[in-house]
Every structure is written in structure tokens, then in C-alpha cells.
Structure 1
């Protein structure tokens, strides 16, 4: 795994590059986009399981990437995509596959629709479309302000958010009704997520709010590429639009079964 910074007109984006398997050199490179909070480091265990070349990018304001330039308007997913798209076009001059998870799904969809000729296949790993009646509550509460506090309260608050994302949805609804059927990751994995999230504290709120406001259903219906949509059992939504074209394959498996998930995604990308 190699680390690099990609210059764009709006700042630098940090990325992690994996060479893959030389026997799979004919496959297009895979661009990977992570969830929030955190960074592309959260995708490394999945990234190294793929045979094709891959580039996992820290989204703007996350991990070691520069934030979006300050503006008067609240940023949209299109604003985040602008920097990511520019970095992709500077790095690759060939067709690509795109993988996104949760917040990264939105950027992946936007790139797939903007670059419909360049993007060959799309993986949407945990699409997480909020119900309309939940939207105002999620916008208000899902991404609190983690401004550094002299007493260190922001450290504990960040840890609790990262931990409880695995246990509840939304993470702040800590009751039996909102319990997820998944467990905690290892202590090391949780620590890594917390540390990457602390680096991303300023970028978390604008990215999450943009992700919740993004019209995933319209973007899905506009997409021209074959897509693989994955979810754990608690995240499957009956009101996802029916995709007759492009062909979309559903996959449901526990998110902690990394080998099974990676194998299924790889089979789709290598087909």
C-alpha cells in the first residue's frame, strides 16, 4: 500500500494506492470512496482483498485531505464530487470501476453519472437512504459539532459516536428499537476509526448533511452502468427504486463477514 497526495484546483486529496495482482492488470483500476466519519484507511482491509489496482481517496475534509474551500452556501455532494472527480481525471486516463460506501455511495453515484463513459461498473456498499420523515432529525443530530474542548469532551464524544454507529441506527438513538444486529469491531479497529474521525472532525458535519440531502433514488435511476448494491440485513430498504436498467444485483450479508463480502464484490467486478 502506498500513500500519495493528488493536487486539484481546490486543494490536495490524500489517497492510498494498492497495486493489486499483476495477473489482473487488464482490469480497470478501482476507485474507492469511504464512509463518514473516518478516511480511506477504513477501507484498507477490503482494498487489499481485490486483485485489480485500486485507489482509496480521503474525501474532502476527511482524513488527510484538504477541506472544501470556504463558501457562503452549505456544500452539496456535487461540491465534494468536484474535487474527487478532478483527482480521478488527473490520475487515470482509462476506464475505471467505482466503489462507495454510505457517504461515499453518494459521491460514487455522482461520479458514475457525470462520467458515464469512463465508469465501467459501480459498487454501492450500504446505500442507507433515510426515510423522508427522518430527514430533519438526522440533519440536526447525526453529525454534532466536535470543536476541540479544553476539558477533552470532544475526545469522548467522538469515541462514543464511532462506537455507537456499530450498535444503533441512528447512533444517538440508544434503545432496543434502534439496535443493529451487528457487534463491535476489534478494539484496534475501533481505535483506528476514532483517530481518523478526530482528524475529520471539521469535515464530518458538512459531508453528512450533504449526504442525507442527496437524492439517491434519482441518481440510481439515472445511472447507466451495471451496479452491485450491498447492505447488511438491517439496512435493506423496500422503497429503493426498482432498477430494470442498468442491471443491478442485490447482495445481503453481514457487514462483518469481510471475506464473503470482498469475494462477492470481486466476482462482480471481475465478470
Structure 2
């Protein structure tokens, strides 16, 4: 199954989504604080018969949050309708789970012309007393803390969600009768929570505060509302529902398998009313602001961020160190983009790029990047390789000398330790946090003695998040980079101009100085 990722630009923000299959369009809406990654099993199954589109809802995954302080579920539904317009979908079959279910519900109510059929799995309609309790306790602020305590909280928060409902009420009456989640399951949940940050609260607040007194009676689009019997905390909510309109069917399936059978039947009955596969819409830039897109390469998807516009100067391509991503360039790229386009790529196996079958050597990564550069900078470019990406930059320069005028690269010499596999209690996250904090405080160039931004817990949080995303590939990348014949390869560059960067956190400052010298000359 070929599942591809895309980014759509909608009303000044960006929406990341997954897409697979052909046929009538199905839209899958995940629960909070997850991302479209949660929908992969269902996406794979439905893509046998449909075009399946699974967006990250605003503020979750890689999608930009709404520019509203406290968005309602109506705001989320309106944003979904705008997204469908941007990608060329007029009417779709829509499925949502929990908070995603309430977005599907609101889309059917507010935009019936966009919905061939909506399936609402997990209707949320708390009593006034329950709502007040949830609003006070369920979605507490998420703020990175210099101590790293927020990572321990995040792990406990997502694990407890499998054990108690609500997650904060520790009692026998609140126990959920499901097996203990695996470390990998909790890690996937925590990763999505860390990506969303404090924005995770928006969909929860919207779901718990919906104006639902008459909503079900107002729905005109065909809609199936269901709550599974194992989803016992939400079953009483069905009794709070207003008498539904004739377009609404209500069900209480015994199992998820029965729920999926009802989903299949509902979609089959209305598939002829949904639009067929639209062409993939290209990502529209956001002007001078940093914006993201995904390149569909032969071996997988490559995530790219861009700042600035094309000028007479060649684009500057940035390759990040291991355990980082293109997001690590966000503090300096806007400055460098004042007189040229700046493009930062998530290397294979890092950040939000695919692993491309385990391509970790500089030669293998350079081969993948050549395909990307043919799209991004076909008329020439300058190249920067930080840390372990230094050998990748050199190999890319050797393979593409005609299009490259200047390469800036570091020889990886400083010791690097990849994040460890998941540990109980999220201890591996805490260890990674302490290790990065140690580098900032005590390694040469860590905070450079002047860079107060280096001490910002939000920046440190992003670094640990990048390390978590690239965990599986880090050890292989480090070993291959350290073993690379860097000096011999530099000598073979020929006419390509080479400038050496330090292998330290001061590398960005060094590059800024070099770029200023060249501009002055």
C-alpha cells in the first residue's frame, strides 16, 4: 500500500495529511492528542476501495493551529471544510473517532453539502457536572520545564489514559478494563502529544463545550452516531442527545469489529454520493514566512522547510546534524533568507522524513538528496552540512559538482549518543533531556556564553522531540558519519569551493560569519 504524505496551505496556515487509494473520497479524523498516524490501520484497509485522506487536525501532528484563542468545534469543522476545498474535494464520506467524531458531527451539521455520509464513533455530550469537571482537569496546560518534569508528566498522562477515565481520577470505579499498553504504544501517543504541545488542549475544550442541545435534530446529511459498549465512559452521553433528525441513525455496537462493520455498510450505501479522487494539490508557499512541503521521492517522502524567495543568488540548502531536523534551522534561516531562498531538509530517517529503507550512510543519503535537489534547486545551489551531515554534504558535492558553487561542512568529531529505546516511565526521554541540557551548559559553544535563546526550555523541548523522531536511525547515521573518509573526500572536491565548519553548537554562528564575509566581498 503506497501511503503518501502531503501539505496543503489553507488560509495562511498549513495542514499535513496522509493519502492513499483511489475511488470515492473518505476523510478520517483522529482523536486528540493524536495525529493522522493513529489512523494508519484503518487508512490501509479502506484504501483498498476508496481514496482515503487523513489530515492532522489543526494544532496536532504537523498541522498549524487555528489562530483563535479558544476555537469551538464549529471552528474546527469550518477549517476542515476549507481544507477539503483546497485539495479539490467537494463532498466526502467522513469518519471521526472521539474528538475527531465531534468534528465529523459538526461538519455534517454545518456543511451538509460537503458530507456524503458521516460516521461519528464516540459521541461526546457530557452532563453539566461532568463538563465542569473535565474543563477543570482534563487538558491541563503543557509547558516545557527546564527540569524536564513535563516529559515525565507526558508519559504518565498518556499511559494513565489507558488505565483510568478520566485519566486523572485514580479509583477502582474509574478503571478501564483493557490490557496494559506496551512501551511502544505509549511512546507513539507521547510523541503526538509532544508535537502538539499546549495546542493539544484546543480540540478537547471544543468537544467538551459544544452547543449540542438541539444539534442532532439539525443534521441534514446522512449520519451514523455510535458509541461502542466497551467505550463505557461515553455511553451515557447518548442519552443527552437531542431527538435526532430523520437523517441520523444511532447505534451501540458491542465491539470495534461491529463498529467497523457498521462503518463499511454506511459508506457502501453512500459511496456514489462522494467525489472521486482529485489530483494531488501542490503546496502553495506562504510568502516570506517559513513553510513546509513533502517531496514524493522514489523511495519515500522527504519533509522540507523553505524560507524566502528566489533571487539572483543560489538557494542555500541546509542539512541538519543527527538527532535534529529542519526545524532546528528556524532560529537562523529567516536571517539568511533576507537575500536568497533557504531550504532545509529532514534527512532520511530523521525528523518527519521517511527512513528510505534504512539509508544511513553518507553516500546513500546523498543519492536520495540528489533526487530532491533536482526538484528544489535545479539551477544550482550552495550547501551546508552540520555535524554528521557534513559527510553527506561532501558526498553530495562530489556527485553534483556542476550545480554546486560552495559547500560548508563539518567533520563529525564530537561524541554523540542516540536516544535509548523506550523505558518505563519515559525515563529515556528524561535522560535525553538532561544530556542536551548538559551540552548547552557545559560544552564549548553550547550557549556560546551569550545566546540566551539556547537556555529556553521550549527550544530544548524541540531538540528532544527531534531526537525522539530520529531515534531508530541515529546509531547507524552516527557510525557511518564517524567512519567516513572526510578529509580524503574534501581533497577530491576539485573546483567546488569548500569552507570548514566547527563540529559544535557554535557552527551556526560560524556559518553566519562566513556568509557575511562573502556578502561583504
Q: How does 1:109-124 map to 2 (within 5 A)?
A: 109-124=105-120
How far apart in 2 are the matches of 1:245 and 1:14? 35
| Contact 2:29 2:54 (8 Å CA) reproduced | yes
Aligned-partner SS, 1:44: helix
Return the offset for 1:149.
1.3
Does 1:31 pair with 2:27? yes
Higher relative contact order (CA 8 A, sep 6+): 1
Does 1:76 pair with 2:78? no
CA 1:195/1:88 → structure 2, altered by over 3 Å: closer, same or farther? same
Q: How does 1:19-58 map to 2 (within 5 A)?
A: 19=21, 25=23, 28-50=24-46, 51-58=49-56
Does 1:18 pair with 2:20? yes
Could you tell me which residue of structure 1 aligns to residue 508 of structure 2?
none
Q: How does 1:91-106 map to 2 (within 5 A)?
A: 91-106=87-102
Aligned to 1:203, which of 199, 204, 209? Answer: 199
Return the offset for 1:201.
1.7
Q: Unaligned regions of 5+ residues in structure 1, if any?
A: none
How far apart in 2 are the matches of 1:171 and 1:88? 34
Could you tell me which residue of structure 2 aligns to residue 241 of structure 1?
242
CA 1:153/1:211 → structure 2, altered by over 3 Å: closer, same or farther? same
CA 1:59/1:114 → structure 2, altered by over 3 Å: closer, same or farther? same
Aligned-partner SS, 2:113: coil
Deviates more, 1:177-186 or 1:7-16: 177-186
RMSD: 1.9
| Contact 2:216 2:248 (8 Å CA) reproduced | no
Aligned-partner SS, 2:54: strand
TM-score between the two structures when normalised by the length of structure 1: 0.88
Deviates more, 1:191-200 or 1:103-112: 103-112
How far apart in 2 are the matches of 1:204 and 1:211? 12
Q: Unaligned regions of 5+ residues in structure 2, if any?
A: 270-521
| Contact 1:49 1:262 (8 Å CA) reproduced | no
Could you tell me which residue of structure 2 aligns to residue 189 of structure 1?
185
Deviates more, 1:176-185 or 1:193-202: 176-185
Return the offset for 1:164.
1.6
Aligned to 1:262, which of 257, 260, 267? Answer: 260
Return the offset for 1:105.
2.0
| Contact 2:30 2:36 (8 Å CA) reproduced | yes
How far apart in 2 are the matches of 1:39 and 1:150? 26
Return the offset for 1:260.
4.6
| Contact 1:164 1:172 (8 Å CA) reproduced | yes
Does 1:173 pair with 2:169? yes
Could you tell me which residue of structure 2 aligns to residue 219 of structure 1?
215
How far apart in 2 are the matches of 1:219 and 1:56? 25
How far apart in 1 are the matches of 2:87 and 2:264? 22
CA 1:241/1:39 → structure 2, altered by over 3 Å: closer, same or farther? same
| Contact 1:228 1:251 (8 Å CA) reproduced | no
Return the offset for 1:133.
0.9
Return the offset for 1:88.
0.7
How far apart in 1 are the matches of 2:178 and 2:226? 15
TM-score between the two structures when normalised by the length of structure 2: 0.47
Does 1:130 pair with 2:126? yes
| Contact 1:34 1:104 (8 Å CA) reproduced | yes
Could you tell me which residue of structure 1 aligns to residue 253 of structure 2?
252
Could you tell me which residue of structure 2 aligns to residue 8 of structure 1?
10
Aligned-partner SS, 1:107: helix
| Contact 1:122 1:227 (8 Å CA) reproduced | yes
For residues 152-171 of structure 1, what are the alpha-carbon distances to aligned partners after superposition, in whole Å with 9 as ceiling and x for unaligned? 21112112221222222111
Rg larger in 1 or in 2?
2
| Contact 2:225 2:248 (8 Å CA) reproduced | no
Return the offset for 1:3.
0.7
